[in-house]
Structure 1
Amino acid sequence: MHTRPHRCAALILSLAACLPLPGRAAPATPDPARLAALEAAIAGKDIQDVTSVLLMVDGQVAYEHYFNGAGPETLHDVRSASKSVTAMLVGAAIGDGHLPGVKARVYDYFPAFTATHPVDPRLRATTLEDLLTMSSLWECDDENAFSAGNEERMYVTERWLDFALALPVKGFAPWMTRPQDSPHGRAHAYCTANAFVLGAVLERATRMPLADYAAQALERPLGIRASHWNRSPEGIGMGGGGTRYRSRDLARLGELVLADGRWQGKALLPPGYVAAMVSAQARAGDGSDYGYQWWGLKLPVDGRETTVWAMSGNGGNYVFVIPARKLVAVVTSRAYNRNYAHPQSRRILTEFLLPALH
């Protein structure tokens, strides 16, 4: 069963039914038959565990619906889509002068650790950009259960920061591609510890808890009034996962990227940072591009493979951004650790939402 839609809509929320933003014309109403097919697929369990679908076109809500007990005020646990927000906070901190740039060296922010722990010179050179692109030399791979830095190993320790900073140097077996031979010169390995340490750097640089800085730099300026950030056992904000937002607020984050970091005339992210964030900086193992903790997914759009930039989290949680269409799409889902989670959320975009706009 799905919940009753927001009072501004029945099955479709279109600009024609809501107050328009000044100076913007109403987008075309999506095809009701295609959206009804989506809802039937969810009701019939062909698509499972989805809690919301929200489509924005040219800054206006074109479709919004909630399912499986969720509603407009539900705070969705978007898991690793949080990493993309952390990347945006790094950009905000560069813009407001708390961080000098993506080439800043990570270990410089933790002098107490370096004073008491020997650090390999190759790791000592680790930059924020290395963490943003998941291409540090830490032996850390969440997709390898044997990896020293696998996130599940971090979660059962008392001090996550020390765990991450003390990781050994990655070795490259003969069948592994070295950085110099990898696309963009970076050997990518998905590692939640990278995003967690970025959050720790932000706390050191801003002298604020990560949740407070997020509220100051992004959330309040965007009109986001409710969110939830997790913390590690030692009290450091968890920049790597578990953040919770309303669907409309996830859409605002997507809209900020669509607007190159500007919101209501103010630059929340510095010029050029968003372009770098959603540009190919590394190549993931599945063939996707990877920017600054944003995924460049290869999806079928208008009959051809297209790079769609997205926030992505366990369970099938997504914020898709397609600048050429002035489009942001949010899919939230509780299909955690299910193999169908990501394919079905991508299917919602490519088989239902995009065709509904033709």
Structure 2
Amino acid sequence: MARRSPWTRWSRAVEAAIRADPRMAQTADLVVRQGGQLVHRVSFAPGRPRDCFSMTKSVLAMLVGLAVDSGVVTLDDRVEDDATVRDFLTMTRGVASELEDVDRLMELPSGWEQAIRGRAHCWAPGTRFCYDNEAAHLLAIWLSRRVGDLEEYAAERLFGPLGIDEAEWLRDPEGHCFGAAHLRLSADSLAALGQLLLDGGTTSTQRLLDPAWVRAMTTAWTPGGPPENTGYGYLTWVDDDGFFFGGWAGQHTSVFPAYDLVVVTTGLPSLLPADWTPARAAVLAHLRTVPPVQRWQP
């Protein structure tokens, strides 16, 4: 049961704002954790686990971090040509990708990896941000050849220790977990992943991620760009309020370190209004009403 705290009223105000705004009609879940504790949870639509869409990328970054920590890979390993793991994590692979590219890729009956590797490089790797769904999938394929099946690796090294047991991961025609999107998790599981990063990669009983990796993952290495139009770390968005996993149709796991706060908002594409806006907008609007000197202390 969610504990009672000053954040309960805040959470209910966010919930009310979401319910009142027809542009947020696609919202499926709102989960709020503050001070490491659940304070509010509401589902606006039935069904779970949810499709994470591009929030999947941030989970992939965690798996890369586990592999780096164990010495299986390094940031300077090359995924293709001169593009390194670091370049793929920061979306600076060097390809002028468009969001629609991944849709065309997923229409192919086979040969996804070859299609991705066939993209022409337009600038030197490491020099320019360009959001690239195909790059995330290629990184996932590359990583799986070093650590084994990613769904199994995640279950053993990341999900299992956090008590996450409902994960489902879409695969490409060759059986590789799709690195760019379509991992399915519950909103509570997403909150647990956000909490793990907020806590520096540790739980109450063990260290799962190197704290240095968490810092690097949540540092803006580039100014970023579309679709979120904010800074970019390792497959994770970074802004002045903290950092977040982001995905299409209103998928966000937002972490606000100054508030010791994790907020998950998920969305259903089947309910998407024509002029939709993510529920994260309501979360940010309500944070703006709290002067820094009045922030709750955990």
Which of the five TM-score ranges fits, normalised by the shorter chain?
Answer: 0.7 to 0.9
| TM-score w.r.t. length of structure 2 | 0.88
2:71 is the counterpart of 1:97: yes
Match of 2:221 in 1: 281
Matched residue, 1:38: 15
Select the residue among 264, 278, 283 that pairs with 1:330.
264
Give yes or no for contact 1:289–1:295 (8 Å, CA) kept in 2.
yes
Do the aligned residues in 1 keep the contact of 2:7 with 2:34 (CA within 8 Å)? no
Cα drift, residue 230 of structure 1: 0.7
Q: Distance in 2 between matches of 1:327 and 1:155?
A: 36
> In structure 1, the residue corresponding to 2:32 is in which secondary structure?
strand
Summarize deviations over 1:30-73 as a string: whole Å, max 9, x none: 326x7257336416735311111011001001111111224xxx
Question: Which blocks of at least 5 consecutive residues in structure 1 are unaligned?
Answer: 1-7, 17-26, 108-123, 172-177, 180-184, 298-305
2:252 corresponding residue in structure 1: 318
Contact preservation (8 Å) 2:26, 2:273: no
Residue 77 (structure 1) aligned with residue 18 (structure 2): no
Partner residue, 2:102: 151
Q: Rg bigger for which structure?
A: 1
**CA gap 1:204/1:37 in 2 versus in 1, 3 angstroms:** closer
Q: Distance in 2 between matches of 1:131 and 1:105?
A: 10
1:7-40: CA deviation from partner (whole Å, max 9, x where unpaired): x3xxxx3x24xxxxxxxxxx434326x7257336
8 Å contact from structure 2 (residues 225, 231) kept in 1: no
Gaps in structure 2 of 5+ consecutive residues: none
Q: Does 1:272 align with 2:216?
A: no
Contact 1:318 1:331 in 2 (8 A): yes
Match of 2:135 in 1: 194
Instruction: Rate the CA distance shift 1:203–1:102 in 2: closer, same or farther, 3 A.
Output: same
CA offset digits 1:236-270 (Å, max 9, x no partner): 11111011101110001001100111123422112
Asked if 1:125 corresponds to 2:82, the answer is yes
- With the length of structure 1 as denominator, give the TM-score of the two structures: 0.74
Question: Are the equivalent residues in 1 in contact too, given 2:249–2:267 (CA < 8 A)?
Answer: yes
1:331 deviates by 0.2
Kept in 2: contact 1:94–1:270 (CA 8 A)? no
SS at match of 2:76: coil
| 1:309 counterpart (236, 240, 243) | 243
Q: 2: CA distance between counterparts of 1:345 and 1:186? A: 33
Superposed CA RMSD: 2.4
Match of 1:328, SS state, is strand
- Identity value in percent: 28
For the 8 Å contact 2:14–2:283, the answer to whether it is kept is no
Letter of the 2:62 partner, please give it. Answer: M
Question: Which SS does the other structure have where 1:267 is aligned?
Answer: coil
- In 2, the alpha carbon distance for the partners of 1:210 and 1:338 equals 34
Question: Quick check: 1:166 aligned with 2:118?
Answer: yes
1:65 correspondence with 2:42: yes
What residue in structure 1 maps to residue 202 of structure 2? 262
Please give the per-residue CA displacement for 1:148-199, whole angstroms capped at 9, x wherever unaligned: xx2123212211111112221215xxxxxx88xxxxx631111111110111
> 1: CA distance between counterparts of 2:144 and 2:26?
35
Please give the alpha-carbon distance, in whole angstroms, between the structure 2 residues aligned to 1:295 and 1:37. 22
